[in-house]
Amino acid sequence: MHLATCQTGKTYILYDADSVCDAEPAPQIAPLLFDPAHWHQAGRVVGEAPGRGSSLFLDAGREQWVLRPYRRGGLVARLNEAGYLWTGLERTRAFREFRLTAHLHELGLPVPRPVAAGVTRGGLGYTATLITVRIRAARALAERLADVEPALLERVGATLRRFHAAGLDHVDLNARNILVDAEGQVWLIDLDRCRLRSPGTWREANLARLERSLAKFGAAEHMAAIRRGYDSPPSGRRAAPRSE
């Protein structure tokens, strides 16, 4: 990856130059890159993901992208759905998530390749959007729980162990943020507010959060197989996955 930054007016952009330059139908480095209306008008919106942020799936030529605006949840969203307090560019949620995702991608861990992060400043606050490469033919683990095989659950556990070994504290580890592609590869998404940490009790807290998520889907019994995979010794070095 070749990371670069630029500024256009009040918008700051952190991007992978290789990804953006290779996407011929997409606008090049400009605020339009993060504008859903632009993609709709160009007829290049090919789908939409469920959720508070209304992520869009975009046709970017040789691959598809996911455009995800940052949105607040809970009671605060009633007052301010998309704005965040400005405390410095590198501390914005989009820039932090982009750099963390890029780091994990470079380690060969199964995360979507980041494309660009856009931050627009306004007064004391900012709004932000992240673009990543879409993992083709992937489904959330939550959608597969009814007939999931134990071997897949064990791969989920083994994959989580790899992320923990790299120090990733995923603060929102749930069955919707774990994807499985058509080849059975397990991926981890949505790294907003996540961080790298030294080994500690946060690892167990991650797993406990996932177990609560499974329970909400009526599948708490699947956590036993995930823990088996998590506790199994590594089977050797794996090749870096691809998200395009």
Is the distance from CB of 125 to CB of 85 less than 8 angstroms? Answer: yes
Does one domain contain both 162 and 81?
no
The tens digit of pLDDT for each residue in 61-102 reads 889 999 999 987 644 444 555 689 999 999 999 999 999 999
What is the extent of the structural domain holding 24? Answer: 3-133
- pLDDT for 11 equals 97
How much is the pTM? Answer: 0.90
- To the query of whether residue 172 is one of the catalytic residues in this protein, the response is yes
What are all long-range contacts of 233-236, with beta carbons under 8 Å and residues at least 24 apart? 234/158, 234/161, 234/162, 235/158
Reported confidence tier of residue 234, pLDDT bands at 50, 70, 90: confident
Of the candidates 172, 181, 190, 231, the residue annotated as catalytic is: 172
- Which of 76, 99, 133 is at the close of a domain? 133
Looking at the domain assignment, is residue 240 inside a domain? no
Total Cβ atoms within 10 A of residue 141: 26
**How many domains would you assign to the chain?**
2
The tens digit of pLDDT for each residue in 114-126 reads 999 999 999 999 9
Q: What is residue 146's DSSP assignment?
A: T
- Which of 98, 116, 133 is at the close of a domain? 133
Looking at the domain assignment, is residue 244 inside a domain? no
Does one domain contain both 128 and 45?
yes
- The CATH number of residue 205's host domain is 1.10.510.10
Does one domain contain both 157 and 190?
yes
